[in-house]
């Protein structure tokens, strides 16, 4: 029993009962059929009051890079090894589906790419992925700058108002500001809808946040109560969730109807010639409707748009949040980033071309994703029996798993693995500039940028799956370059004008997690106009 009850300490005694029950269950389940796989003796108290991925990291250091974890009535295999992750995501990708994650997301995203069954996924991926080509990204960089500009001018106005009161800095929850910025970007670029959330509230915006909140709640709640008959009529939060969904779906349905009605052959020609910069509406919805004709199924389109709204919003906001959190603690790196922005952009706005010269900002974005991956865990369920490679220091014969095994791929553990990264917890954007030949780890190809020539950002190919900010294999994020460019533009434009510091200590910024890692009470910062510009 790991937590000892102190005499008279009721909370301790309660924990003790929990731990005993949980350990019994662990032992019972561990007699299962996972061969010699190490077993983490988790206790229920390990899962209370802190994000699950912290505990998974400690167990990784204790038990190795493939272990089995059982708690409550559930058992999972936890993987923290690039070679095993490569096997599951790339080499044997179609032997797995999204398991628990699909159960959670299906009521929200329907048959959208993330929860979709394999047949639907194959058909829709072929249609959607080409929409994110270079001409589209080039046009979207303009949207990123327009939206970032709104945020910057909001900060300018707030500072100006404070200036009249004799103060030269403002306190802001930057996490909330980045969330509004990312929502505006995704609305305009995916379905040409201006949420305008940087400056206003609306029923649709409230419904989007309500839906995100519910998705988050479901991903941390172990009993799918929302599946109970009549739950959507009786449980108040389920009734609210259904109302929120209807508001968003009505909005999306109208946008789809408009896009179909306004389809013009001249636009189709421009799309075919990739003449995006001369299109009034260059959104992904326009592409999907124009290139596929009006017969494309409305329900499927709506599921696709909803999926991208959810997948592309909080994730990008989280990258910006943690990039600022890390920079605020490393003023010398903030200065270095500002110097790069000054020399590349001066007072101009970023463009598709100038992004290529903002190397340090790009590395900051990826380093932030390394330390705070979104999501910290990828979830899979085996569709047929498989043998997982033993991984680094694991059983050389590998570990057989039966069909139906739930697997957590811990990206957080991979990204902070002491076996694959020097000083894994330190914020060092420069680390990606150093090639790392591998001599000691069998089966891992090392860190070598020449494996992905022309890549603007370090990725899973360069790192042979040690760095996995957007997943890998066939189900890799479709919006990866979009999100990286959006984050680079927004960060560069923030640093071009402002110095940022934390309002409290870094330790006071508590982490919580659902689909993404975010703060418990906001990222409260002091923002001031850069002193070297005044
Ligand atoms: C999938 C991360 C932004 C759309 C994924 C996956 C990851 C990820 C890790 C793989 C999930 C898995 O294998 O289970 C991120 C991060 C983002 C981001 C960190 C921001 C920094 C976006 C954006 C969009 C998007 C902007 C769309 C506009 C999708 C879709 C999938 C996906 C549709 C499912 C792909 C498939 O299954 O074929 N994302 N994403 N993501 N992402 Fe992103």
> Which of 534, 532, 527 lies closest to 498, judged by CA?
527
The backbone torsions φ and ψ at residue 493, rounded to the nearest 5 degrees and listed phi first, read: -70, -30
Tokens 């058992």 found at: 75
CA 108 / ligand 1 centre spacing (Å):
16
Q: Whose CA is nearest to atom 6 of ligand 1?
A: 477
Give the 3-state secondary structure of residue 472: coil
Residues 6+ apart with CB under 8 A from 89: 378, 409, 465, 471, 472, 473, 475, 476
Q: How far apart are CA 63 and CA 235, in angstroms?
A: 41
Q: How far apart are CA 513 and CA 375, in angstroms?
A: 9
Q: How far apart are CA 122 and CA 461, in angstroms?
A: 22
Q: How far apart are CA 363 and CA 369, in angstroms?
A: 10
Q: How far apart are CA 265 and CA 140, in angstroms?
A: 22
Q: Is 424 exposed, middle or buried (0-12, 13-18, 19+ CB in 10 A)?
A: middle
pLDDT at 20: 40
Say if ligand 1 is within 6 A of residue 489 CB: no
Q: Using an 8 Å Cβ cutoff, are 60 and 40 in contact? A: no
Q: Whose CA is nearest to atom 23 of ligand 1?
A: 312
Strand order in the sheet with 498-502: 169-173, 524-529, 498-502
Q: Which atom of ligand 1 is nearest to the CA of 112?
A: 33
Say if ligand 1 is within 6 A of residue 189 CB: no
DSSP 8-state class, residue 50 = S
CA 186 / ligand 1 centre spacing (Å):
13
Say if ligand 1 is within 6 A of residue 308 CB: yes
Residues forming beta bridges with residue 423, ordered by sequence position: none
Say if ligand 1 is within 6 A of residue 315 CB: yes
DSSP 8-state class, residue 471 = B
Say if ligand 1 is within 6 A of residue 312 CB: yes
Q: Whose CA is nearest to atom 5 of ligand 1?
A: 477
Alpha-carbon distances, residue 95 vs 35, 115, 144, 215, 402 (angstroms)? 20, 15, 38, 26, 11
Tokens 């022309």 found at: 454
Two structure tokens written together for 157: 């106005």
Q: How far apart are CA 459 and CA 454, in angstroms?
A: 12
The backbone torsions φ and ψ at residue 113, rounded to the nearest 5 degrees and listed phi first, read: -55, -40
CA 90 / ligand 1 centre spacing (Å):
16
Question: Model confidence over 439-456: pLDDT tens digits?
Answer: 788 889 999 989 999 899
Residues flagged as binding site for heme: 477
Two structure tokens written together for 299: 């329900």
Check: complex ipTM more than 0.90: yes
All domains in the chain, ordered by first residue: 10-100+376-422 (3.30.43.20), 125-374+469-533 (1.10.630.10)
Apex 447 CA angle, 321 and 391, nearest 5: 95
Q: Whose CA is nearest to atom 17 of ligand 1?
A: 315
Q: Whose CA is nearest to atom 7 of ligand 1?
A: 470
CA 38 / ligand 1 centre spacing (Å):
31
Q: Whose CA is nearest to atom 32 of ligand 1?
A: 477
Q: How far apart are CA 457 and CA 372, in angstroms?
A: 16
Say if ligand 1 is within 6 A of residue 415 CB: no
Say if ligand 1 is within 6 A of residue 470 CB: yes
Two structure tokens written together for 458: 């370090």
Q: Whose CA is nearest to atom 16 of ligand 1?
A: 315
pLDDT at 24: 39
Q: pLDDT below 70 — which residues of the chain?
A: 1-35, 42-49, 72-73, 165-166, 219-234, 265, 292-295, 534
Say if ligand 1 is within 6 A of residue 509 CB: no
- Choice from 477, 487, 491, 513 to test ligand 1 binding pocket (greatest atom count within 8 A of CB): 477
> Which of 414, 425, 347 lies closest to 86, judged by CA?
414
pLDDT at 32: 44
Burial 360-398 (b: 16+ CB within 10 A, else e): bbbbbbbbbbbbbbbbbbbbbbbeeebebbbbbebbeeb
- For the CA atoms of 518, 319, 477, 250, the dihedral, rounded to the nearest 10 degrees, stands at 60
> Which of 113, 261, 244 lies closest to 190, judged by CA?
113
Q: Tell whether the torsion through CA atoms of 304, 306, 307 and 308 is positive or negative.
A: positive
Residues forming beta bridges with residue 169, ordered by sequence position: 528
What's the full length of the chain, in residues?
534
Question: Model confidence over 58-99: pLDDT tens digits?
Answer: 999 999 999 998 876 678 899 999 999 999 999 999 999 998
> Which of 348, 266, 290, 307 lies closest to 116, judged by CA?
307
CA 321 / ligand 1 centre spacing (Å):
18
Q: Using an 8 Å Cβ cutoff, are 198 and 151 in contact? A: yes
Angle between helices 298-328 and 118-128 (to 10 degrees): 70
Q: Whose CA is nearest to atom 34 of ligand 1?
A: 114
CA 440 / ligand 1 centre spacing (Å):
33
CA 288 / ligand 1 centre spacing (Å):
18
Say if ligand 1 is within 6 A of residue 319 CB: yes
């Amino acid at each position: 029993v790991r937590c000892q009850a102190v005499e008279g300490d009721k909370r301790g005694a309660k924990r003790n009962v929990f731990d005993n029950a949980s350990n019994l269950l662990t032992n019972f389940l561990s007699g299962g059929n996972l061969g010699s796989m190490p077993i983490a003796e988790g206790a229920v108290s390990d899962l209370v009051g802190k994000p699950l991925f912290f505990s998974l990291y400690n167990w990784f250091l204790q038990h190795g890079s493939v272990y089995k974890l059982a708690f409550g009535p559930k058992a999972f295999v936890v993987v923290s090894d690039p070679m095993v992750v490569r096997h599951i995501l790339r080499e044997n990708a179609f032997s797995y589906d999204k398991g628990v994650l699909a159960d959670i997301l299906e009521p929200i995203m329907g048959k959208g790419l993330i929860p979709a069954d394999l047949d639907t996924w194959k058909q829709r991926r072929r249609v959607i992925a080409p929409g994110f080509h270079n001409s589209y990204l080039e046009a979207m960089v303009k949207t990123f700058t327009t939206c970032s500009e709104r945020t910057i001018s909001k900060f300018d106005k707030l500072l100006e108002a404070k200036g009249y009161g004799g103060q030269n800095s403002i306190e802001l929850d930057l996490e909330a500001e980045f969330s509004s910025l990312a929502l505006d970007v995704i609305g305009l670029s995916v379905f040409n809808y201006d949420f305008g959330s940087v400056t206003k509230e609306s029923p649709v915006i409230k419904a989007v946040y309500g839906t995100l909140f519910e998705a988050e709640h479901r991903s941390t709640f172990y009993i799918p109560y929302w599946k109970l008959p009549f739950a959507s009529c009786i449980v108040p939060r389920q009734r609210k969730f259904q109302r929120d969904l209807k508001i968003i779906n009505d909005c999306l349905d109208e946008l789809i109807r408009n896009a179909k009605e306004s389809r013009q052959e001249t636009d189709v020609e421009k799309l075919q010639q990739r003449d995006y910069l001369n299109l009034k509406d260059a959104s992904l919805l326009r592409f999907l409707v124009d290139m596929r004709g009006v017969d494309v199924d409305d329900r499927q389109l709506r599921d696709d748009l909803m999926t991208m709204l959810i997948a592309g919003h909080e994730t990008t906001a989280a990258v910006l949040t943690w990039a600022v959190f890390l920079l605020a603690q490393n003023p010398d790196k903030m200065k270095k980033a500002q110097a790069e922005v000054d020399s590349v952009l001066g007072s101009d706005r970023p463009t598709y071309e100038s992004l290529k010269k903002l190397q340090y900002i790009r590395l900051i974005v990826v380093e932030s994703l390394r330390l705070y991956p979104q999501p910290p865990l990828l979830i899979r369920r085996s569709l047929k029996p498989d043998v997982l490679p033993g991984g680094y220091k694991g059983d050389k014969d590998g570990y057989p798993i039966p069909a139906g095994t739930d697997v957590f791929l811990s990206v957080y553990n991979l990204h902070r693995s002491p076996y694959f990264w020097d000083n894994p917890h330190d914020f060092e954007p420069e680390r990606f500039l150093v090639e790392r030949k591998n001599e000691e780890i069998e089966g891992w190809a090392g860190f070598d940028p020449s494996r992905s020539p022309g890549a603007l950002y370090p990725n899973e190919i360069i790192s042979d799956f040690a760095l996995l900010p957007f997943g890998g294999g066939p189900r890799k994020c479709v919006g990866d370059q979009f999100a990286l460019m959006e984050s680079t533009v927004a960060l560069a434009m923030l640093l071009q004008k402002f110095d940022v510091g934390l309002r409290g200590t870094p330790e006071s910024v508590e982490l919580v997690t659902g689909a993404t890692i975010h703060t418990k009470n906001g990222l409260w910062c002091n923002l001031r106009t850069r002193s070297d510009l005044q």
